[in-house]
Structures are given as C-alpha cells and as structure tokens.
Amino acid sequence: MKICVLVKEVPDAAVEKRIDPSTGRMDRSGEKNLNPYDTHAIEAAMQLKEGGALQVDEIVAVTMGPESAVRALHKAVSLGADRSIHLTDAALAGSDVAATGYALAKALEKEQPDVVLLGQQSDDGECYTIGAVVAEHLKAPSLTQVIKLDVVDGGLRCERQAEYGYDTVQVSLPAVISVGDAINEPRYPSLKAIMGAKKKPLETASAADAGIDASLVGGDGSRVQCGEFKAPPAKAAGTIIEDEDTDATVEQIVAWLDERKLI
Amino acid sequence: MTTPSPATIDAEQLEEIRDGIRQLCARYDGTYWQQLEPETYPAEFVDALTEAGWLAALIPEQYGGSGLPLSAASVILEEIARSGGNPGACHAQMYVMGTLLRHGSEAQKERWLPEIAAGRLRLQAFGVTEPDAGSDTTRIRTTARRDGDGWVVDGQKIWTSRAEHSDLMVLLARTTPIGEVSKRGEGLSVFLVDMRDRGDELEIRPIKTMMNHSTTEVFINGLRLPGDALIGEAGKGFRHILDGMNAERCLIAAECIGDGRWFVERASRYAGEREVFGRPIGANQGIQFPIARAHMAIEAADLMRWKAIGLYEAGRPCGAEANMAKYLAAEASWMAANACVDTHGGLGFAAEYDVERKFRETRLYQVAPISNNMILAFVGQNVLKMPRSY
Ligand SMILES: Cc1cc2nc3c(=O)[nH]c(=O)nc-3n(C[C@H](O)[C@H](O)[C@H](O)COP(=O)(O)OP(=O)(O)OC[C@H]3O[C@@H](n4cnc5c(N)ncnc54)[C@H](O)[C@@H]3O)c2cc1C
Ligand SMILES: Cc1cc2nc3c(=O)[nH]c(=O)nc-3n(C[C@H](O)[C@H](O)[C@H](O)COP(=O)(O)OP(=O)(O)OC[C@H]3O[C@@H](n4cnc5c(N)ncnc54)[C@H](O)[C@@H]3O)c2cc1C
C-alpha cells in the first residue's frame, strides 16, 4: 500500500512573522523550515511502515508551493519518505485554503494513496483545515487531530483529541488523517539520509499535469479575498503596583478593579 | 595507497548538515551537559551521533560511511560546540580516522572501517604524548620491537583522551632508536591497537582535569601486536601522523569557532536583558566592545578556517593556513569566553548558566592538541624564516 504525506514549507518558528506592507500578505522571505507538525505525520507514516501490520510499499511526500518548497521535500525524504512530488505553478499562487485543498487532492488522485497523512495545522496559516478539504475532494473519511494510530482489522484505530477527552474512531481505508504533535517523537535525520535526499526521485508537476482546473485555484479562483492584514496591536504597558505595604496594595488592586466594574 | 577523494559538497548541503546536527543537539541541552560534570562521559549523546552516522562522515561510502570532505566534518563539530555541547567527547574519531584512511592498507580498511562506520567499534584514542615528550613528539620513549611476525610495545603515554571509551587506539612508538637515525623524526611507527581485553598489557588510569574530557595515562607493558597492526611504513610513522595534522587543525579551529559563536550569542543576549543602574548593561562600552571585538575575531578566524579547508580539499599545501586558523580560532574563542564571563557578572560562575563550563572547555584549545606557542614558533620559523628555537 501507499501512504502520501502532505508537507508544507513554512517560515521558521524563530522568525518573527510580519505582514509585508507591499502585498498585504505574510512576509515569507526569511528562513524557512518544514512545518513541524508535518514531521510528526512523516514519523507516523514511518511507524506504520516499520510496524509491519500493514504492508507499506511506499511513502510519498507531496507539497504545493513555490520553487523553494523543494527543501521541505528534501527534509521529508531525509526523514524517511521514498520519493516526493512538487506541485508548483504560477497559476496556483495566492490560493486560499479551499483552493489549496482542491489542488492537493488533484495531485493525490493520480497517486491513489491508501492513507493520506498530514499535520493538523501549519505553523504559518494555522487554518487546521486542509485535511478536511482534501478528504472531501477524495471522497474519503477525514479524521483530524489524531494523537494515536493503530492498525486494527485492516483499518486504522485512531484516537483524536476532542474538546473534552478523546474520541476513539475506527476508520477504513483509504482515509485522510491529520495528526497532532503528541502522536510521536519524530526521529532526527541521519547524515546519510540528509546526503541521500537529493538522490531520491522528485517529480515536479504543473497544475495541468495534475489535472487542476485553473479557474478554481490561484488568487482569482479563491473565494477568500483578502482585504487588509494588520499585525495585532502591541499590548499596552500594564500598571505595576509595588508591594510595600500589603494592605495598601490590596486596596489599590480592589480600587482598580472596582473602577472598571470588574467586581 | 590511494588518497581517498571525498565527494564534493555544496553550500546548500553544508546548510542541511548544520540543520540536521542542530536538531540532534537540541535534544542535549545545557542540563544534559551539566549533569555529566565533573567526569561522566556523554555516552548517550555520542551514541546518538554514532547511530545517525555523524561520526562516520569521513569514512568512504564503500566502507559504510558518508565519504564526505573535511568541510562537512568541520561543520558537524562546529555545530556541536555552537549548540553548547562539548565536541571534545567525540572529535577524535574524525581526527584519528585520517591516519587509517590515508595510510592503512586495503585489508586494514576493510577490516576496521565498516565496523567503525556501523558504530560497533570506536576509534577515538590517539596515543602520542608522553610525560617527557609533548610538544617535542620525536622524543617519545615508547618502543615497539619486532617479535616474530608481530611487535611488542613497552612504554607510557599521557593525556590519551577517551582511552576508556574507545576500542581502538592509534599509537605512536619508536621502532628504531633515536641514536640510529639521521633525523629525529625517523624511526617512529604508527600502530592500530585493539585495546579490548588486554589485561595487564594495557593499564589505563584516568586523570582528573579542569574540564570533563575523559583523559588518561596509559601504561604499556609488553603489549603484543600482530604484524598487521602496523599502519603504513615502519619508521615513517611521524610523517604519517603529521599528514593528518592539517585536517586536525582545521577541525579544532571549527570547534573553537562554534564555541566562540556560542559565547557571543549568550553574551549579547544577556547584555541586552540585564539592567543595572536603570539601563541594559550592553549599552556600556565596557560590556559591548569586548563582545563586538570577540565577534570580529571569530569572523576573521572563520575566514582563515575556510581558506585552509579550501586548500586542503583542493589537495594543495595548507600547513601555514591550517595552523593559523587553529591559532586565530582558539584565541578568538578564548576572547569570547572571557567577554561572556564578564558580561554575566556573578552568573558567569554559576554552573546552571553553562558559561563557566564552556569557558573551561574552550581554554583547552590554547594548549592541546598543539599549543598556540608552537604555532607561533612554526609561523616565525617556517613561514617567516626567523631563527629557530627547536
Ligand atoms: C487569500 C489567500 C492567499 C494566499 N496566498 C498564498 C501564497 O501566495 N503563498 C502561500 O504560500 N500561501 C498562501 N496562502 C496560504 C496558503 O494557501 C495556505 O497554505 C492554505 O490556505 C492552507 O492553510 P494552512 O497552511 O493554514 O493549512 P492547515 O489546514 O493549517 O494545514 C494543515 C496541514 O495541511 C498541509 N498543507 C497545508 N498547506 C499545504 C501545501 N501548500 N502543500 C502541502 N501540504 C499542505 C500540511 O500538512 C499542514 O500541516 C494564502 C491564503 C489565503 C487565504
Ligand atoms: C585535556 C588534554 C587532552 C589531551 N589529549 C591528548 C590525546 O588524546 N593524545 C595525545 O597524544 N595528547 C593529548 N594531549 C596532550 C597535548 O597534545 C599536549 O599537552 C600538548 O601538545 C603540549 O605538550 P606538553 O603538555 O608536554 O607541554 P610541553 O611540551 O612541556 O610545553 C610546555 C609549554 O612550553 C611551551 N614551549 C615548549 N617549547 C617551546 C618553544 N620552542 N617555543 C615556545 N614555547 C614553547 C609550550 O608551548 C607549552 O606552553 C592532551 C592534553 C590535554 C591537556
């Protein structure tokens, strides 16, 4: 069987996110990295492969993004994926989450995976949505925020983080599963895997190659139209009360709360 | 004997190597290194490095390594130091390897390298220095004499680091008495010693030191070695070892640069945070300038390190550059270490901050594996042709 893992290149966590005033979109020019959640998705795929309960023949990493996104694929391959697919096309730039999900689903259709794994959220967009959109297009069940994955009766028994406690869900394959970071501890890549990453097959696909209807993707094909993005306002400096005499301090705090009708 | 020609490597791959080693080091933070003090060997860290193939970087692919050039090895050690770790625990595999790679026979390489690459055997002990012969290596007294097909070795080594954490040792011994050779550097030979289960033939005693370095004294009492323990040609051992020195100098330089960057990062961050007299201490030139000066020294040393490595990888002479890189980098890291301690005030002495530990660790590189004085003498005598002191 085949597992496809969706991976995304995101601005490095250490880089402070900012809006590019000239485009009104996130400035993605700085240091980038493989979305940390996606490393958990790859690890989950590796554990399914190594676990042996399913006969996993191949793990394929898939990304949609500009030229630089191949680095996310190299990382994915150095963590264990066997090959990768880079969906890239000027027509795809500016796609919103629905368009991105549609485009990824088209790329996946060609691969016919038995399991699609992905991170539950990206570090930059944080929509938590791609999994559900992809599943809808593939007409496959969607499970999100999965933190435990076991092979049971030829399907997958998943524990997902719910609002209160956990849901345990048995899903038959094919299925689209987004994972949380509690699911595993990703391995670090070995030196050989890093050096060998570029030797593993990498396929570049255009929108047309993937059979994508160009009118449904890109800025024009997206239903979300961005007005203006603004950085959240800086927090005002608070009031610091020096605690010299505790009774007086308590009085000051009570008066402050009272003024604002909070007590 | 063929010189291995390692795969070339591009800037992007070096970046990926940095990234990979950083990920691994991130799991071994300051608290990990602190709990090893004063003298526990970082076995878990070294195992993790070995398992992921980092220490086999220089071993050719045909023997199970990655066959990478010196630049890659230098980046690996630099990043360990820069992450706050102590590459001294494992750097020797990279240094010592060169002697076997360049001068070992095909049979020796086939026998030992795959085992080392797979992490089943460790080669990270280098027995050169003796109580009466440090800088003046040719004065060593440990002797190996022919005995049938093999050799018998007697003598004593000091500062043989990691001997207790290594299965194999590269050993330098005299095979022709110094009185019978025309040049002092002749008549020495290199052996690859299998140290496992040696009983009384090898007696290893740890030496307590200022930093956690697992260094030892090794007493060699009638140690029997098979004929195929000899690496390269008998009598040419000093040459064989000198051959590897340029690579070693470049690697040490890279470690110092990593240390230096760690100190500068820590110092500049703390200088911006700590407020005294109502302003960040980093605003004071007394704090700011030493950090800036150290930063410049590190940047300059790094240029020399890459110049030396570039020459080395091109197969060109690089003795002067490799030595200068080691000198400049060791001076720079020490400058950075002092600035970092001063910046941290009292906290510079608190174990919890790692500054005092790194300070002790980086100080070593002024003295070992070659003392900076000897590099000054080398540049004075060999590069500038001034009168000799030795
Ligand atoms: C109007 C608009 C314009 C945009 N323009 C751009 C643009 O020009 N360039 C740009 O980079 N982004 C752009 N984005 C954001 C981009 O399309 C988002 O990646 C997409 O909406 C998915 O959202 P997310 O990353 O928050 O998904 P989430 O649902 O949070 O991500 C979950 C998981 O989905 C997978 N995933 C997400 N995106 C991808 C991907 N591209 N390839 C493979 N797997 C993926 C990953 O496994 C990830 O962990 C734009 C968004 C909007 C709304
Ligand atoms: C922690 C540690 C680990 C070590 N690990 C190893 C190891 O694994 N294997 C190994 O073989 N060795 C090892 N060494 C030994 C190290 O290489 C030597 O200590 C070093 O080469 C200096 O030799 P020495 O200690 O005998 O000093 P000496 O040679 O006695 O020199 C003392 C001082 O005199 C100076 N000096 C001598 N001659 C001159 C001159 N002509 N001009 C100017 N100055 C001069 C030296 O520079 C030095 O400062 C280690 C040392 C330490 C401290």
Average pLDDT score, chain B: 95
Question: Token pair for residue A254?
Answer: 């009570």
CA of B21 vs chain A CAs: smallest distance (Å): 8
Question: Which residues constitute the domain of residue B258?
Answer: 239-383
Which-ligand-closest: CA of B212? 2
Give me the half-sphere count of Cα atoms (radius 13 Å) on the Cβ side of residue A14: 3
CA proximity to B378, closest of B388, B364, B363: B388
Query: Touching check for A68 and chain B: CB below 8 Å?
Result: no
**What is the rounded (10 degree) CA torsion for B44, B50, B53, B58?**
140
- Residue B4 clears pLDDT 60, i.e. is over it: no
Rounded to an integer, the average pLDDT of B19-34 is 95
Please give the model's pTM, rounded to 2 decimal places: 0.86
**pLDDT score of A229:** 74
Answer yes or no: do B379 and B244 share one domain: yes
Question: What residue ranges in A20-114 does DSSP mark as E strands?
Answer: 32-34, 58-64, 83-87
Q: Are B228 and B109 in contact (CB under 8 A)?
A: no
Q: What ranges do the domains of chain A cover?
A: 2-221
Token digits of residue A11: 């601005």
- What residues in A contact B51, CB-CB < 8 Å? 190
The answer to whether residues B225 and B285 belong to one domain is: no
Chain A hits for B265, Cβ within 8 Å: none
B57 contacts on A by Cβ (under 8 Å): 191
- B215-225 vs B275-276, strand pairing mode: unpaired
Residues B297 and B314 in one domain: yes
Do B260 and B366 belong to one domain?
yes
CATH code of the domain containing B260: 1.20.140.10
Minimal-distance CA residue to ligand 1 atom 24: A125
Atom 4 of ligand 2: nearest residue by CA position: B159
A11-20, A151-160, B18-27: the lowest-pLDDT one? A11-20
Query: Quick check: CB of B241 below 6 Å from ligand 2?
Result: no
Measured from the Cα of A134, ligand 1's closest atom is: 34
- Closest residue CA from atom 2 of ligand 2: B159
Statement to judge: residues B368 and B283 lie in one domain: yes
Q: Do B281 and B146 have their domain in common?
A: no
Nearest atom within ligand 2 for CA of residue B131: 26
The number of folded domains in chain B is: 3
Ligand nearest to the CA of A121: 1
Give ipTM to 2 decimals: 0.84
User: Residue B75 is inside which H or E element, if any?
Assistant: helix B70-82
Size of interface A-B (CB pairs under 8 A): 34
Cis before residue B38, ω within 30 degrees of 0?
Answer: yes
Using alpha carbons, select from B282, B205, B190 the residue that is nearest to residue B244.
Answer: B190
Residue B390 CB less than 6 A away from ligand 2: yes
Rg (CA), chain A: 22
Same domain flag for B227 and B243: no
Is the sign of the CA dihedral A10, A12, A18, A21 positive or negative?
negative
> How far is the CA of B309 from the CAs of A189, B58, B313, B323, B351, in angstroms?
26, 14, 6, 11, 35
What tens digit of pLDDT does each residue of A169-193 get? 999 999 999 999 999 999 999 999 9
Q: What is the pLDDT of residue B1?
A: 35
| Ligand 1, pocket residues at CB < 6 Å | A 6-8, 25, 35, 37-38, 63-65, 93-97, 100, 104, 118-119, 121-122, 125-130, 222, 224, 226
CA distance B2 to B19: 32
> H-helix or E-strand containing A50?
helix A36-51
Best residue among A39, A97, A128 to mutate for probing ligand 1, ranked by most atoms within 8 Å of CB: A97
Ligand 2 test: best mutation among B90, B95, B129, most atoms within 8 Å of CB?
Answer: B129
Secondary structure letter of residue B377 according to DSSP: H
Which of the listed residues B81, B96, B122 is the one where a domain comes to its end?
A: B122
- Domain boundary pick from B190, B217, B236: B236
Angle at A175 between CA A174 and CA A176, to 5 degrees: 140
Put simply, the answer to whether A197 touches B51 (Cβ < 8 Å) is no
Handedness of CA A87, A91, A94, A97 (dihedral sign): negative
DSSP per-residue letters across A134-188: HHHHHT--EEEEEEEEEEETTEEEEEEE-SSSEEEEEEPSSEEEEE-GGG--PPP
Chain B residues with a Cβ under 8 Å from any Cβ in chain A: 13, 16-17, 20, 23-24, 27, 51-54, 56-57, 66, 68
A148: CB partners within 8 A, 6+ apart: A158, A159, A183
Share of chain B above pLDDT 70, in %: 98
Task: Say whether A189 and B66 touch across the interface (CB within 8 A).
Answer: no
Burial group, residue A258, by CB count within 10 angstroms (0-12, 13-18, 19+): exposed
Mean pLDDT of A102-120: 98
A191 to B66: CB separation less than 8 angstroms, yes or no: yes
Q: Encoding tokens for residue B50?
A: 């070995």
> What dihedral angle (degrees, nearest 10) is formed by the CA atoms of A245, A248, A253, A254?
150
pLDDT tens sequence across A189-232: 999 999 999 899 999 999 999 999 999 999 999 998 877 777 78
Q: What's the whole-number mean pLDDT along residues A2-12? A: 96
Range A2-221: architecture per CATH: 3-Layer(aba) Sandwich (3.40)
Same domain as B322, residue B336: yes
| Residues A45-58, mean pLDDT to the nearest whole number | 96
A188 and B52: CB-CB below 8 Å?
yes
| Predicted confidence (pLDDT) at residue A125 exceeds the cutoff of 80 | yes
Report yes or no: A74 at the B interface, CB cutoff 8 Å: yes
Residues B347 and B359 in one domain: yes
Question: Considering only CB atoms, which chain B residues are within 8 Å of A192?
Answer: 53, 66
Collect all residues of chain B within an 8 Å Cβ-Cβ radius of residue A185.
none
pLDDT of B368: 94
Say if residue B243's pLDDT is above 90.
no
Collect all residues with Cβ–Cβ distance below 8 Å to B43 and sequence separation of at least 6: B165
Number of other CB atoms surrounding residue B70 within 10 Å: 24
User: Average pLDDT of B62-66?
Assistant: 95
Distance from A190 to chain B by nearest Cα, in Å? Answer: 4
The H helix count followed by the E strand count for chain B is 11, 10
Task: Assess if residue B5 is contained within a domain.
Answer: no
Kindly give the distance from the C-alpha atom of residue A187 to the centroid of ligand 1, in angstroms, as a whole number. 25
Map B272-327 to HEC letters.
HHCEECCEEHHHCHHHHHHHHHHHHHHHHHHHHHHHHHHHHHCCCCCHHHHHHHHH
Residue B389 within a domain: no
User: How close B260 comes to chain A (CA, Å)?
Assistant: 21
Contact B51 A190 (CB under 8 A): yes
Domain check: are B244 and B298 in the same one?
A: yes
Q: How far is the CA of A191 from the centre of ligand 1 (A)?
A: 30
What do you get for the CA distance between the two ends of chain A, in Å? 62
**B6 has pLDDT over 60:** no
Local confidence band at B354 (pLDDT 50, 70, 90 cut-offs): very high
**% of chain B surpassing 90 pLDDT:** 93
Position B54, amino acid: W
**Could you identify the residue written with the tokens 């570090």?**
A123
Binding-face residues of A in 26-65 toward B, CB within 8 A: none
The answer to whether residues B43 and B177 belong to one domain is no
Residues of A in contact with B27 (CB under 8 A): 188
Question: Mind telling me how many Å the CA of A195 is from chain B's nearest CA?
Answer: 7
Of B67, B94, B122, the domain-final residue: B122
Q: Are B185 and B169 in contact (CB under 8 A)?
A: no
Q: Is the CB of residue B156 less than 8 Å from the CB of residue B131?
A: yes
Residue environment code for A214-250, b if the CB has 16+ CB neighbours within 10 A, otherwise e? eebbbeebbeeeeeeeeeeeeeeeeeeeeeeeeeeee
> Taking the CA atoms of chain B, what radius of gyration do you get in angstroms?
21
Q: Compare all CA atoms of chain B with the CA of A198 and give the residue at the minimum distance.
A: B13
Q: What DSSP assignment string belongs to B42-68?
A: -HHHHHHHHHTTGGGTTS-GGGTS---
Which residue among A74, A188, A195 sits closest to B24, beta carbon to beta carbon?
A188
Same domain, B214 and B254: no
User: Which residue of A8, A87, A137, A229 sits with most ligand 1 atoms within 8 Å of its CB, as the best mutation to test the pocket?
Assistant: A8
